[in-house]
Amino acid sequence: MEVLKPYPKLIEAIITKLKQTRKIGIPLAVDDISAIMISMIQIHAPEVFLKVAGDGSMFRCSNSFVRHFLDRHHWSSRSPTKAAQKMPLDTQEQCRRSFFQQAFTVQNEGTKDYLRANTDQTNSLLGAAAKQTYDETGVKQVAVVGMEEKHAFTLVVGVTASGEALPFQAIYKGKTSQSLPVKTPFNSKHWKRVQELGFLLEPSGNDTYWSTMDTMKSYVNYILTPYFAKAHTAHGDPEDQLVIWQIDA
């Protein structure tokens, strides 16, 4: 702590940044706080990293240093709450009916494994929820984004029974393309890869990030149908060959 003692404004800036981060519900682990502290020190007092201690060592923003800093400023590890997930009461019966219906179709229509696609949706948190977060000691409300599934997007993933992975569809909260990620100098390499793989990024069209009928139509038109058409051609199947699309199962 002595290394930061000559920098009261830096200490205040770090605490302010931690409070701002927690205020919007983002959980903070030691590694997260360490990253924040390192960036703040580099901005406000980069010379701290160049100072040599009496034993010849140089300053490191180690986990032990971070924990000591937090303890000195009355921050401690806290447990957020989490809502339980619910499943339909007839889950097993629904799965059984789906299995037999697909088996019947495969047997009677000759649907091959590469023409059986299964897609599912998952919430992808922009800030992953944690079981613990550091917050000010004594606060009564310890809210964490992710426990309520906020600040996230829906990722639709698909795979065929033959093991072919389909391009992802990512759905973001909003009504225009301004809600979508954009290419920057920092992500250009990954952005190019996203385009090569044919990922589909689109807004939900409303105030949630959930999949809608319109986004499902987009998935069918721009991902599923092109894949099945290509598979038909590659294997010489008739154009009216029946396919199977299993959704969220």
Boundary of a domain, candidates 45, 73, 101: 73
Indicate the number of domains in the chain.
Answer: 2
Same domain, 120 and 234: yes
Same-domain check for residues 238 and 206: yes
What number of other Cβ atoms are within 10 A of residue 81's Cβ?
10
What residues have CB less than 8 Å from 48, skipping those under 6 apart?
3, 4, 7, 41, 59
Q: What is the pLDDT of residue 227?
A: 95
| pLDDT by residue, tens only, the chain of 249 residues | 578 889 999 999 999 999 998 887 778 889 999 999 999 999 899 999 888 877 888 888 899 999 999 999 999 988 765 544 567 788 889 889 999 999 999 999 999 999 999 999 988 877 655 667 777 887 777 776 656 555 789 999 999 999 999 999 999 989 888 888 888 888 888 889 999 999 999 999 998 888 899 999 999 999 999 999 999 999 999 888 999 999 875
d(CA 42, CA 37): 8
The domain in which residue 67 lies consists of 2-73
Together in a domain, 12 and 130: no
Specify burial of residue 105 (Cβ count, 10 A radius: 0-12, 13-18, 19+).
middle
Could you tell me if 148 and 114 lie in one domain? yes
**Which CATH number goes with the domain that contains 6?**
1.10.10
Tell me whether residue 167 is in a domain.
yes
